[in-house]
């Protein structure tokens, strides 16, 4: 599904150049659940941003669904992104001024889905995430776990083929963390490809394989032995 060749990302600020990623070769197939681990600052988020088409690499090639997209324009990337990728962030990133329903609805708005269809799909997702009763609440009125469920709901409502989760459990206590992991697992079982960054070895175990990043390089990959082609 995705494949990177010699992927490189260099950040240039006024004073210094930071090489966040260096020669990363990485492949994820359809239906996989990949965990990424590594110390803080090693480039995990950078990698996820590149995979998620939020940014262009400085060098190297990136194949997304067999398109070479590393030189795509912002507009082309946005187009691919909105139809294929869902995001879950550590800090949820919900819009405070919108209700739960409206937050989940948002990606469908940008995909120009009709209003009745939107309503149907948002309701479905809310049921699936068990937040139906919170439909008209604002994010501030929810607990962290509930907020993250809304965020997951928003990530899946457009039926993306790939979900990228950057430390989705980082701000949650363990019971809520479990809950979210369970949901990701369910989605994966339903066929969605998932790439997740985490600091927790326990949660990393949920993936089919774990990729270790160190200082912008992939150091090891270990198969958890759960993946069958």
Ligand X SMILES: Nc1ncnc2c1ncn2[C@@H]1O[C@H](COP(=O)(O)OP(=O)(O)O)[C@@H](O)[C@H]1O
Among 4, 35, 45, 169, which residue sits at the site for Mg ion (rule: CB under 5 A)? 45
Nearer to Mg ion, 104 or 163 (CB): 163
Helix (H, G, I), strand (E, B) or coil at 164: strand
Q: How far is the CB of 107 from another protein (least distance, A)?
A: 5
Among 7, 20, 104, 187, which residue sits at the site for ligand X (rule: CB under 6 A)? 20
Distance CA 96, CA 140 (A): 7
**Span near ligand X by CB under 6 A; candidates 40-48, 60-68, 91-99, 203-211:** 40-48
Among 24, 28, 31, 43, which residue sits at the site for ligand X (rule: CB under 6 A)? 43
Distances (CA, A) of 12 to 9, 41, 50, 52, 184: 10, 16, 16, 21, 35
Closest CA to 210 of 199, 155, 6: 199
Which stretches of 59-214 are DSSP H helices?
A: 74-84, 100-110, 115-129, 144-156, 174-189, 201-204
Nearer to ligand X, 18 or 202 (CB): 18
Residue 127: is it exposed, middle or buried by C-beta count within 10 angstroms (0-12/13-18/19+)?
exposed
Distance CA 229, CA 227 (A): 7
Q: How far is the CB of 76 from ligand X (least distance, A)?
A: 22
DSSP 183: H
Taking CB within 5 to 8 Å according to partner kind, which of Mg ion, ligand X, another protein, none is near residue 159? none
Taking CB within 5 to 8 Å according to partner kind, which of another protein, ligand X, Mg ion, none is near residue 185? none
Taking CB within 5 to 8 Å according to partner kind, which of ligand X, Mg ion, another protein, none is near residue 175? none
Among 15, 40, 112, 114, which residue sits at the site for ligand X (rule: CB under 6 A)? 40
Which stretches of 34-89 are DSSP H helices?
A: 44-51, 74-84
Q: How far is the CB of 209 from another protein (least distance, A)?
A: 26
Find out whether 84 and 67 touch, Cβ atoms under 8 Å: no
Interface residues with another protein (CB under 8 A) are 45, 49, 52, 54-55, 74-75, 78-79, 81-83, 87, 89, 91, 93-97, 106-107, 110-111, 154
Would you tell me which residues interact with ligand X (CB under 6 A)? 11, 13, 18, 20, 38, 40-46
Residues that bind Mg ion (CB under 5 A): 45
């Amino acid at each position: 599904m995705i494949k990177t060749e010699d992927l490189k990302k260099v950040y240039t600020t006024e004073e210094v150049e930071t090489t966040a990623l260096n020669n990363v070769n990485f492949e994820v197939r359809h239906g996989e659940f990949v965990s990424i681990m590594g110390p803080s600052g090693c480039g995990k988020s950078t990698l996820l941003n590149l995979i998620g088409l939020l940014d262009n690499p400085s060098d190297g090639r990136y194949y997304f669904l067999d398109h070479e997209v590393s030189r795509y324009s912002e507009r082309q990337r946005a187009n691919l992104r909105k139809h294929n990728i869902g995001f879950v962030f550590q800090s949820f990133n919900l819009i405070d001024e919108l209700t739960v329903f409206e937050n989940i609805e948002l990606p469908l708005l940008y995909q120009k889905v009709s209003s009745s269809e939107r309503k149907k799909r948002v309701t479905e997702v809310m049921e699936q995430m068990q937040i139906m009763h919170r439909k008209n609440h604002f994010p501030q009125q929810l607990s962290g776990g509930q907020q993250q469920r809304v965020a997951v709901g928003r990530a899946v409502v457009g039926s993306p083929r790939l979900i990228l989760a950057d430390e989705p459990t980082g701000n949650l206590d363990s019971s809520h963390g479990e809950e979210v992991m369970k949901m990701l697992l369910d989605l994966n079982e339903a066929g969605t490809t998932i790439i997740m960054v985490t600091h927790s070895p326990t949660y990393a175990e949920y993936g089919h394989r774990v990729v270790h990043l160190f200082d912008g390089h992939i150091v090891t990959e270990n198969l958890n032995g759960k993946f069958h082609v």
